[in-house]
Amino acid sequence: MAWRFALVIDPAAPDDEGADYRDTLHEIDPHGPALGVGELSAQRGDGVFESLGVVDGHPHEVGPHLARLAHSAALCDLPAPNLAQWRVAIERVAREAGAGENVMKLLLSRGVEHGPAPTAWITLADAPDNTSGRTTGVAVATLDRGYALDVPARAPWLLLGAKTLSYAVNMAAIREAKRRGADDAVFVTSDGYLLEAPTASVVLRVGDRFVTPEPQAGILHGTTQLSLFAYLEGRGFTTAYETVPAKDLATADAAWLLSSVRLAAPIRSVDGIEVPVDRAFTDELNAYLLSPRD
Ligand code: PLP
């Protein structure tokens, strides 16, 4: 990954209306060491994050990403992030973005063990080339997430709706999907319902209806899916959040993985079975997703 820029945010900044936060932001070497050895993000994956797409210098969906950062922080009992300060920091980092696609990561950890404050920082890097996923599409393998649909409500300490830094399980799922000859995974509950991919939301098209699994089912509410639903509703389509049986993935008229940097990647096969890809419609969705969006 080609790192471009990194910024540390002083979390002790006052939350005053009209405050000028610029002197609470400290540029650091994006290629150098930056975290203390007692940093709990590294020791325990104890923190939350967001990945934003930045296209031609414009950071996409800043409001929804900050709302989800605050939601994840609340689920993890982290101090509420100062969103006005984060907005100033995001604008500062976006000025360093080049033409084309970049990825900005917002990170908020519990800080250094026994330390006084959380640690907050932002990185900016070139985005990977996602052309093939957006055009040819992705083969997915469905993987059992190992719990039933009601577990997120019964065991909120599993933090299933928070975007935590503990992505080791998500990365293991992608490796397992690759061992099965696929490009990516789609998690399903042990009682047979669709959830999400390890780094993306799943959206199905059935006729003129677009459906995604309920975010209350212990999955992330995708900012890309939210934005796409608003676009689709503007185009006269119906959208819905539902409890989706896993078997519907292979019988849908079309399906996509959606995320902030990859954007819309059509699913071209499910567990080795080819499924239809609507290339022209996917191109239209990606043209929308690449346009400046707030
Ligand atoms: N679900 C998971 C587990 C993710 O990691 C992501 C993004 O990284 C998403 C869904 C999609 O979210 P967004 O569209 O906000 O990138």
How far apart CA 183 and CA 257 sit, in angstroms, is 12
CB of 185 sitting under 6 A from ligand 1: no
For the Cβ of 263 lying below 6 angstroms from any atom of ligand 1, the answer is: no
pLDDT grade for 88, boundaries at 50, 70 and 90: very high
pLDDT, one tens digit per residue, over 72-86 is: 999 999 999 999 999
When the pLDDT of each residue in the chain is averaged and rounded to a whole number, the result is 96
Q: How many CB atoms lie within 10 A of CB 42?
A: 14
What is the C-alpha separation between 52 and 62, in angstroms, rounded? 8
Question: Which tens digits make up the pLDDT trace of 127-153?
Answer: 999 999 999 999 999 999 999 999 999
pLDDT for 15 beyond 90: no
Q: Which domains does the chain have, with CATH numbers?
A: 3-126 (3.30.470.10), 131-290 (3.20.10.10)
CA distance 66 to 71: 9
Tell how far the Cα of 197 is from the centroid of ligand 1, in angstroms: 8
Q: Report the pLDDT averaged over residues 195-202.
A: 98
212 C-beta closer than 6 A to ligand 1: no
**Tens digit of pLDDT for each residue in 165-180?**
999 999 999 999 999 9
Of 199, 56, 39, the residue nearest 120 (C-alpha): 39
Position 157 scores a pLDDT of 95
Residue 279 has pLDDT above 80, yes or no: yes
114 C-alpha to ligand 1 centroid (Å)? 31
Average pLDDT over residues 250-264: 98
Res 16 pLDDT > 90: no
State whether the beta carbon of 81 lies less than 6 angstroms from ligand 1: no
Q: What is the pLDDT, as a whole number, of residue 240? A: 98
In the structure, what pLDDT confidence band is assigned to residue 55 with cuts at 50, 70 and 90? very high
Closest to 69 (Cα-Cα) out of 94, 49, 93, 46: 49
Residue 116, pLDDT above cutoff 80 = yes
Output the pLDDT for position 19: 82
Phi and psi angles of residue 258, each rounded to the nearest 5 degrees, phi first: -130, 130
Q: Is 224 in the pocket of ligand 1 (CB under 6 A)?
A: yes
Judge whether residue 13 has pLDDT over 90: no
Query: What span, in angstroms and rounded, lies between the C-alpha atoms of 117 and 11?
Result: 7
Check: CB of residue 52 under 8 Å from CB of residue 65: yes
pLDDT of residue 239: 98
Among residues 169, 124, 128, the alpha carbon closest in space to that of 6 is found at 124
The band of 42, judged by pLDDT with boundaries at 50, 70 and 90, is: very high
pLDDT > 90? residue 14: no
* pTM greater than 0.95: yes
Which string of DSSP letters, residue by residue, matches the chain?
--EEEEEEE-TT----TT---GGGEEEE-TTS--S-TTBHHHHH--EEEEEEEEETTEES-HHHHHHHHHHHHHHTTPPPP-HHHHHHHHHHHHTT--SSEEEEEEEEE--BTT-SS-EEEEEEEEPP--HHHHHT-EEEEEEE-SS-TTHHHH-GGG-TTS-BS--HHHHHHHHHHHHTT-SEEEEE-TTSBB--BTTBEEEEEETTEEEEE-GGGTS---HHHHHHHHHHHHTT-EEEEE--BTTHHHHSSEEEEEETTTEEEEEEEETTEE----HHHHHHHHHHHHS---
**What residue owns the CA closest to ligand 1's atom 5?**
199
Would you say residue 274 has pLDDT above 80? yes
